[in-house]
Amino acid sequence: MQKISIIGLGLIGSSLGMALRAPGRDVEVTGYDIDSKVHGRAKKEGAVDRTEWRLPDAVKEADVVVLAVPVLAMRELMSDMAQHLKPGATVTDTATTKRQVMAWAGELLPDKVGFVGGNPLAGSGKSGAGNARADLFNGATYAVLPSVKAPEDCVKAVVAMIERVGAKPFFVDLHEHDTAVAAVSNLPVMLSSALMLAAASSPSWREISRFASDDFKSMTALAGTDPEVSLGIGASNADMLSHWIDEIIAELSDLQEMIVHESRSDKEGPLMQTLVAAWEARKRYEAGVTMGEIERPVLPSAGDGMMQMFLGERIARVFRDGGQRRSDPTRYPR
């Protein structure tokens, strides 16, 4: 019986617990949350087998410790738990951004344990333990980032855990991870928050809101992300996120310029061509998602995955060299 401890019983922690405790399981799940009021709920909804009142007790016997807390709480948590970990234990996390977490793990966790970073690419828009469910990770991809010093057994343990909850592990380079996540996960959170703020801080918001349909509701859903999580995103991935905010502001300025230009209703004009480019990109993306099983690189299974690290490095190089694209006049028709 493998012992897994989950620290932090929010949406991700509780959902992981539920999924790990599925029938036929060979794991025992211990839960801990800094807010012990949630312990009762976690037990009741089947997220954990038992809870502990003190952090040291929650981790001392664990084979695998999952840190499912906001990224800004990671440093203190690692520091507090470091001396209580079992030799040979595996520590993993679920933070959306990875550079800070990997650095803190290297600095604060003892050599006798192995740290393997993780990021389940499951929706963050529905944060809160109340939305936890056993199938949250079913079919989701799950990024895996072993620390340089992590023994292969620890990597295997994390990959096995990911597969057990129905997700698909894939190995990825640290730099690639944080750039990509900044674009498709962090930026949308800021965009959604900016939209909510722009609309709601209008003195006419009460009247304006009567015109909001499901589209607006869905575009502002991510503004409802736990502010501590959003803060962690901004704080831990500031450089990458700032780059992508530049990109989106540039796109919006371009669109605005075309919208106020006199050719704006021209069906062959630049506004139409840009909107068609966006529409085509969305259709291609949608199709890619559907055939994701075919298109994506073969996923490493437990044990044979380390080689994929080289792939991550190659891709990271593309990112580093690709920063100049806005000056490319062929990007889409003007």
User: Contacts with a copy of itself in 48-77 (CB under 8 A)?
Assistant: 72
Q: Is residue 138 within 8 Å of residue 167, measured between CB atoms?
A: yes
Show the site string, 129-148: x = touches a copy of itself by CB under 8 A, - = not: -----------xx-x-----
Asked whether position 249 contacts a copy of itself by CB under 8 A, the answer is: yes
φ and ψ at 13, to 5 degrees? -60, -45
Q: Which 253-292 residues touch a copy of itself, going by CB under 8 A? A: 253, 255-256, 258-260, 264-265, 267, 271-272, 274-279, 281-286, 288-289
Please choose, out of 8-16, 49-57, 86-94, 324-332, the segment that lies near a copy of itself by the rule CB under 8 A: 324-332
Q: Which is nearer to a copy of itself, 90 or 96 (CB)?
A: 96
Query: 66: helix, coil or strand?
Result: strand
Among 218, 303, 333, 334, indicate the residue that binds a copy of itself (CB under 8 A): 218
Q: Give the bridge partners for 91, in sequence order.
A: 65, 115
Among 50, 149, 296, 334, indicate the residue that binds a copy of itself (CB under 8 A): 296
Among 179, 300, 305, 308, indicate the residue that binds a copy of itself (CB under 8 A): 179
List, in sequence order, every beta strand (DSSP E) within the chain.
2-7, 27-32, 50-51, 64-67, 90-93, 114-120, 141-146, 168-171
Query: 151: helix, coil or strand?
Result: coil
Asked whether position 180 contacts a copy of itself by CB under 8 A, the answer is: yes
Q: Which is nearer to a copy of itself, 38 or 223 (CB)?
A: 223
- Minimal distance in Å, beta carbon 34 to a copy of itself? 14
Q: Which amino acid, one-letter code, is at 116?
A: V
Number of residues in contact with a copy of itself, rule: CB under 8 A? 110
Asked whether position 252 contacts a copy of itself by CB under 8 A, the answer is: yes
CA atoms within 13 A on the CB side of 157: 24
CA atoms within 13 A on the CB side of 304: 4
Q: Which is nearer to a copy of itself, 88 or 205 (CB)?
A: 205
Which residues fall within 8 angstroms of residue 108, CB to CB, at 6 or more apart? 75, 78, 79, 82
